[in-house]
């Protein structure tokens, strides 16, 4: 059986996805000020809680991806 190679290309669809990702990702620079305004002194706790939640999701995806030996 021949092994398929991973194609490393960026097309129009990927360019749009990267642009949208950049626009949404830029919100991280405004979020701390908004969170501090809304939550006051509890905003660092909220960021830590969100980080723990995100870490849990990342570890689930890492475990799942370890079950597959091929791309795609």
Q: For residues 46 and 20, what is the distance between their CA atoms, to the nearest angstrom?
A: 26
Q: For residues 15 and 22, what is the distance between their CA atoms, to the nearest angstrom?
A: 11
DSSP notation for 50-62 = HHHHHHHHHHHHH
Note the pLDDT of residue 55: 95
What stretch of H or E contains 18? Answer: helix 12-25
Split at pLDDT 50, 70, 90, the class of 61 is very high
pLDDT tens, residue by residue, 3-59: 777 777 888 999 999 999 988 888 888 888 888 999 999 999 998 999 999 999 999
> Is residue 2's pLDDT more than 80?
no
Note the pLDDT of residue 17: 93
Average pLDDT over residues 55-71: 89
* End-to-end C-alpha distance for the chain, whole angstroms: 17
């Amino acid at each position: 059986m021949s092994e398929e190679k991973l194609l490393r290309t960026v097309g129009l669809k990927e360019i749009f996805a990267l642009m949208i990702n950049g626009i949404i990702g830029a919100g991280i620079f405004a979020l701390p000020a908004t969170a501090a305004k809304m939550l006051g002194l509890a905003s660092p706790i909220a960021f830590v809680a969100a980080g723990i939640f995100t870490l849990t999701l990342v570890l689930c995806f890492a475990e799942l991806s370890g079950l597959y030996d091929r791309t795609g």
